[in-house]
Amino acid sequence: MIKGNLRKMSVQLESKVQYTLALDELIPMNSFIGTQIRLEWNGRINCLVCGRLTKKSFGQGFCYNCFVKSPQASECILRPELCRAHLGEGRDPEWEQKNHNIPHIVYLALSSAVKVGVTRSDQIPVRWIDQGASFAIKLAETKNRFHAGRIEVALKDFFTDKTNWQRMLKNELDHSVDLEEEKWSLEEHLPIDIIESFSSDDNITEINYPVNKYPNKVKSLSFDKTPVIEGLLIGIKGQYLIFEGGEVLNIRKHTSYHIEFTQI
């Protein structure tokens, strides 16, 4: 039995993505695919930032105080066009400078439909893997989060900025999509200052996940409703554990939950 507070699984891009779950010990999750596992929540949640006990998790792992004050939960995390780091402002200007006033990538990713997204340059390809993308391409490179967010907003007329998690977990892909073609088809539709930020890197990254069999239907599990989650692990995609029968557990959603992990 291994205990600890959940964090999103760390990933490594290889022929198939390698996943590691960090509790009090590191757990190489790929080695448990095809086996029966059990995860039990003991009712405890410790804030991702301050570590204090909280009855409820806000924004995937924060206590309420940190949710409204921490830069890690600021509005520009989800809406980068609202970032003020380039102005020397924000909930914590020093943190913002280190994490948001640095190079960012705008990208196109294919998980089900083509999605546009923004992430720090140093989070490629981690961000793509966390979202369950099967293919991804860099679209633009910017000096900071604000300008990346501005480009993302302009692209929302053409692409979604959300991942359809059910279709992603069923591996429903449109294989006719050419991300390079999608990228450069935007050239005649966007303002010249945005086009000038486009990346010259047209390499398409293909990502394969350790899944023995994709389910036809999926049902989301939650520790709040089911404190003990167990079953035959048949795969991992994005930040989801996929169990036999199509039940899935979003690890990232349960950030800060204190659990016990065992192989049955």
User: What pLDDT sits at residue 157?
Assistant: 86
User: What pLDDT sits at residue 70?
Assistant: 97
Which two tokens mark 202? 């047209």
Partnered with residue 105 across adjacent β-strands are 119, 141
User: Domain-by-domain residue ranges, the chain?
Assistant: 2-61+211-263, 102-206
Q: What is the pTM of this model?
A: 0.94
Structure-model confidence comparison of residues 179 and 190, the more confident one: 179
Beta pairing, strands 219-221 & 247-250: parallel
- Rounded to 5 degrees, what angle do the CA atoms 195, 199, 201 make? 145
For 165-186, what is the mean pLDDT?
A: 92
83 contacts: CB under 8 Å, gap ≥ 6: 76, 90, 96, 100, 144, 145, 146, 149
Is pLDDT of 89 > 90?
A: yes
Structure-model confidence comparison of residues 187 and 90, the more confident one: 90
Lowest pLDDT segment from 122-131, 161-170, 237-246: 161-170
Residue 125: asked if its preceding bond is cis (omega within 30°), the reply is yes
Sheet holding 104-110: strands in order across? 114-120, 104-110, 135-142, 204-206
pLDDT digits (tens, 9 = 90+) for 18-37: 999 999 999 999 999 999 99
Partnered with residue 27 across adjacent β-strands are 21
Quote the strand ranges of the chain, DSSP E: 2-5, 10-12, 18-22, 26-28, 36-45, 104-110, 114-120, 135-142, 204-206, 219-221, 228-237, 240-243, 247-250, 257-263
For 135-151, what is the mean pLDDT?
A: 96
Of the candidates 214, 256, 222, which has an alpha carbon nearest to the alpha carbon of residue 238?
A: 214
User: What pLDDT sits at residue 162?
Assistant: 85
User: What pLDDT sits at residue 44?
Assistant: 97
Beta pairing, strands 135-142 & 114-120: unpaired
Q: Specify whether the CB–CB gap between 126 and 205 falls below 8 A.
A: no
Is pLDDT of 58 > 90?
A: yes
User: What pLDDT sits at residue 172?
Assistant: 94
H or E element that contains 194: helix 192-195
Q: Average model confidence (pLDDT) for the chain? A: 95
For 205-234, what is the mean pLDDT?
A: 97
Q: How confident is the model at residue 174 (pLDDT cuts 50, 70, 90)?
A: confident
User: What pLDDT sits at residue 133?
Assistant: 97
User: What pLDDT sits at residue 222?
Assistant: 96
Is pLDDT of 194 > 90?
A: no
Of the candidates 252, 171, 210, 169, which has an alpha carbon nearest to the alpha carbon of residue 33?
A: 210
